[in-house]
Amino acid sequence: MRQGARWLVPVVCGLAAHLCAADAEEPEKPESRFQPLIASLERKLGPEFTVKQIGMFVVAWDIDKEAGARSEKLITQLDEVLYENFLVNRPDYVIKIAIFKDNASFQRGVKKLAEKSPTLPGVGFYLPYEKVVAWEAPMGEWVLRHELTHALLHADFRREKLTSWIDEGVACLCDSATFHGKQIEFKLDWRLGLVYKLMKEQKLPHLKDVFNMDYMTYNSPANHMVGDAMARNLLFYLHEKGLFLKFYKRYRGNYGRDRTGIKFIEEVTKKDINAVETDWLTWVNDKMAKSTGGDGGNVPPGGD
């Protein structure tokens, strides 16, 4: 992470040591190119918000100091871990992150931050054209992980608009992950139970149909949660087979050749998509049989 520069002063006497200690206690100043944006957010959001540069982000919050410190650590860690493990291209623009203490603050704040702010009950979102992540903090840290993953994923693909299933699938995969230093551990969550339930009821769509959905179809009330659950668990399936990174890199590098990603799934698995689906559904069934909780986890639904 690039931070404001500090001078290292040689300690040659007691007075010099005192001055050096005083200098070290001063807060780091944001880089000059961030300062206009910080000033703009301070004007828009008001004095109750703390606005600061964190790495390549400008973050604003009205949560308490302790919660702010936890959020700063989470943002820094997620950024480091994702780029250590599979992301490559960093954003060449500033991503704004707004963290709100409650729903009332969330509703007021998003209207000030984005010209076309979505109408939402809360939770959080990422607006790719505005480069804004918004998070209602009481809804849980998994929401910030989900939405910030969206922001970094778009930067990695160098696109403001991505095929919905890969956009949501990767975000859902990361929102319940555990970090160990710079390593990431993906885990099963409640979405496995949804896939299993619909599979048993014979209501589960085919993978290729979900992968071919346009943005509006995928994000409709009838499809969004199901699509997210299928996308996440298909990527988890590839991860357990040691193929997720190979698939992701091939998809990112050849996105214009097949935006659905089907071609690259078939290439890395050496199976056609129908055979992949058959094997994946067997995997879902086996995972549920081994799951002591019955749903693989307890992360609540939500996010965008």
Please determine, for residue 20, whether its predicted confidence score (pLDDT) is greater than 80. no
CA distance linking residue 274 with residue 270, whole number of Å? 12
CA distance linking residue 159 with residue 173, whole number of Å? 20
Please determine, for residue 17, whether its predicted confidence score (pLDDT) is greater than 50. no
pLDDT in tens, 151-193: 999 999 998 889 999 999 999 999 999 999 889 999 999 999 9
Band of the pLDDT at 33, cuts 50, 70, 90? confident
The whole-number pLDDT of residue 292 equals: 53
The token pair at 194 is 């949804």
Band of the pLDDT at 117, cuts 50, 70, 90? low
CA distance linking residue 66 with residue 97, whole number of Å? 17
**In the chain, where the domains are located:** 1-161, 170-304
The whole-number pLDDT of residue 291 equals: 78
CA distance linking residue 189 with residue 232, whole number of Å? 10
User: Domain 1-161: which topology?
Assistant: Glutaredoxin (3.40.30)
CA distance linking residue 224 with residue 216, whole number of Å? 10
Residues 6+ apart with CB under 8 A from 77: 179
Please determine, for residue 48, whether its predicted confidence score (pLDDT) is greater than 50. yes
The token pair at 173 is 């995969």
The whole-number pLDDT of residue 170 equals: 98
Please determine, for residue 1, whether its predicted confidence score (pLDDT) is greater than 70. no
CA distance linking residue 294 with residue 287, whole number of Å? 9
Element spanning 118, H or E = none
In 3-state terms, what secondary structure has residue 88?
coil
Angle (CA) 159 272 282, round 5°:
100
